[in-house]
DNA sequence: TTTTGTGAAAGTTTTCACAGCG
DNA sequence: CGCTGTGAAAACTTTCACAAAA
């Protein structure tokens, strides 16, 4: 099956399936069926089978999916077999919290560079990683072969920083600043937006109230 | 138009439109048209018009949308006219970073309670808010009329905490723990998942490589 | 004239039912 | 017999074209 044709919605669910499969693996389950994955992942069995069918014929009829083989296959498709190198741009509270997040190391993603503009921070070594002057952004990103930029800057400078990391050849950005980045389409952007999420939750609270 | 029938995809975009409108307002634009909103929001004009049409007939043909009126209308629909009271459950690095995030106050959402299980933290007052013992979760949530719970606990306890906040009558959860929460459907959950986002970006990096 | 609001078309995603295979 | 893989149906979302209104 053509890998290009895997729908984005399926891609978005693969990390969730992967997490479930790793849990199954840790429970010593050699095989799991679509119902089992669906229950763990909070979806339904046909959805799981359809999603996995885009990756190829990975299951065995009458049996289910081999847990180890499926983990290997999804990991490869998601590019998790190759170690990813991330940079944190903007080392305030949030950047600092993310650096300490164990999720990076667990998923083959290493923070290899940190940037800030505050002279008091530049040169310090949180968790052994030197904080660099954001003035040197482009050269350091290229030198350290960074593939993912994590933007935790103030909103005012996020667009500029996005343009600069993109110009330095970084093609994946995780943006925590509440602004929609305008950058070339070959750069993948994932937006994490706290106030948007809170507002969506607020809508649900308001709706509950309206129904009652 | 029936408010119940506003599609979830539209709801997800309303906070983005709102942000654009507030920017327009700060630029002293009294009126904006669908093209203007679309450009700021990174979408297209028919999408904006379709989305806004679900909320009622809010525009003026030949003119566009009154910025103040549209802000008021979207804010009301999202329930932002009413002040929201949030609690942070789990005060590690991430919880601490979120407490300092200015996005809360700016959007009428106040952190009114913090919970942790660490005796060294309980009783301290970061930003003037007392850290409570998680043992008192239910009573404090009810007492302080919390409507949104922000879960920043370790992954192992997130499901238990979700059940407890739901049992205490909280019907909106923002979950940062990398686990799919199983709770009654009347509780709205928004998942913010760093490692999932990184894996999706990793897929895009892998795909670029495959294409080249 | 300008720009909204909307029905219809096109595209996408999810669900379903069952053929097909082990 | 059990469970996957999949084509077809249903549901949902986006795009389009244009009538209608200011």
Cα angle A72, A170, A123 (rounded to 5 degrees) comes to 105
Comparing every residue's Cα with the C1' atom of nucleotide C12, the nearest one is: A7
3-state class (DSSP) for residue A133: strand
What does the block give as tokens for B95? Answer: 């919880």
Contact between A174 and B3 using a beta-carbon 8 Å cutoff: no
What does the block give as tokens for B116? Answer: 């942790």
On the 0-12 / 13-18 / 19+ scale of CB atoms within 10 A, B2 is exposed
- DSSP alpha helix (H) spans, A27-102: 34-41, 45-53, 67-77, 93-99
| Residue of B157, B160, B170 lying closest to B85 (CA atoms) | B170
Full DSSP string of B66-101 = EHHHHHHHHHHHTTTTSPEEEEEE--SHHHHHHHT-
Contact between A180 and B109 using a beta-carbon 8 Å cutoff: no
Chain A residues with CB-CB distance to B207 below 8 A:
3-4, 79
Contact between A207 and B84 using a beta-carbon 8 Å cutoff: no
Cα angle B132, B137, B138 (rounded to 5 degrees) comes to 145
What does the block give as tokens for B106? Answer: 């700016």
What does the block give as tokens for A26? Answer: 């840790």
Whether B19 has a pLDDT exceeding 50, the answer reads: yes
Rounded Cα distance between B75 and B25, Å, is 14
Nearest-CA residue of chain B relative to A74? B203
Where does the pLDDT of residue A4 fall: very low under 50, low under 70, confident under 90, or very high at 90 and above? low
Where does the pLDDT of residue A2 fall: very low under 50, low under 70, confident under 90, or very high at 90 and above? very low
Tens digit of pLDDT for each residue in B60-104?
Answer: 999 999 999 999 999 999 999 999 999 999 999 999 999 998 888
Task: For chain B, give the longest Cα–Cα distance.
Answer: 63
Chain A residues with CB-CB distance to B42 below 8 A:
180, 182
Tens digit of pLDDT for each residue in B127-161?
Answer: 999 999 999 999 999 999 999 999 999 999 999 99
The pLDDT value recorded for residue B4 is 59
3-state class (DSSP) for residue A20: helix
| Residue of A25, A27, A28 lying closest to A68 (CA atoms) | A25
Please identify among residues 47-76 of chain B the ones whose CB lies closer than 8 Å to any CB of chain A: none
Q: How far is the CA of B57 from the C1' of C3 (A)?
A: 13
Instruction: Specify whether the backbone of B43 is left (phi greater than 0), alpha (psi in -120 to 50) or beta.
Output: beta
Rounded Cα distance between A3 and B208, Å, is 12
On the 0-12 / 13-18 / 19+ scale of CB atoms within 10 A, B23 is middle
Whether B212 has a pLDDT exceeding 80, the answer reads: no
Comparing every residue's Cα with the C1' atom of nucleotide D13, the nearest one is: B9
Helices A8-26, A67-77: axis angle to 10 degrees equals: 140
Residues of chain A with pLDDT > 90: what percent? Answer: 92
Comparing every residue's Cα with the C1' atom of nucleotide D14, the nearest one is: B47
Mean pLDDT across A100-120: 91
Please identify among residues 109-148 of chain B the ones whose CB lies closer than 8 Å to any CB of chain A: 109, 147-148
Q: Are B151 and B180 in contact (CB under 8 A)?
A: no
Rounded Cα distance between B41 and B137, Å, is 39
The pTM for the full model equals 0.95
| DSSP for residue A83 | P
Please identify among residues 168-207 of chain B the ones whose CB lies closer than 8 Å to any CB of chain A: 171-174, 178, 180, 182, 186, 188, 190, 192-207
What does the block give as tokens for A74? Answer: 């999804």
For chain B, which domains are there?
3-77 (1.10.10.10), 84-196 (3.40.50.720)
Whether A126 has a pLDDT exceeding 50, the answer reads: yes
Nearest-CA residue of chain B relative to A194? B103
Whether A1 has a pLDDT exceeding 70, the answer reads: no
């Amino acid at each position: 099956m053509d890998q290009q044709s895997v729908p984005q919605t399926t891609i978005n669910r693969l990390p969730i399936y992967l997490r479930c499969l790793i849990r199954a693996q840790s429970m010593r389950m050699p095989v799991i069926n679509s119902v089992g994955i669906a229950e763990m992942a909070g979806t339904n069995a046909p959805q799981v089978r359809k999603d996995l069918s885009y990756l190829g014929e990975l299951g065995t009829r009458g049996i289910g999916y081999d847990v180890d083989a499926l983990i290997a296959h999804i990991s490869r498709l998601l590019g998790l077999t190759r170690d990813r190198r991330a940079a944190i741009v903007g080392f305030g509270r949030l950047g600092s919290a993310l650096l300490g997040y164990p999720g990076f190391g667990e998923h083959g993603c290493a923070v290899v560079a940190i940037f800030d503009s505050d002279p008091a921070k530049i040169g310090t070594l949180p968790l052994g990683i030197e904080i660099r002057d954001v003035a040197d952004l482009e050269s350091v990103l290229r030198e350290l072969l960074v593939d993912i930029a994590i933007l935790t800057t103030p909103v005012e400078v996020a667009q500029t920083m996005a343009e600069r990391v993109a110009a330095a050849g970084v093609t994946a950005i995780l943006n925590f600043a509440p602004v929609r980045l305008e950058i070339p389409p070959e750069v993948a952007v994932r937006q994490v937006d706290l106030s948007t999420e809170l507002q969506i939750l607020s809508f649900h609270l308001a709706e509950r109230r309206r129904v009652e």
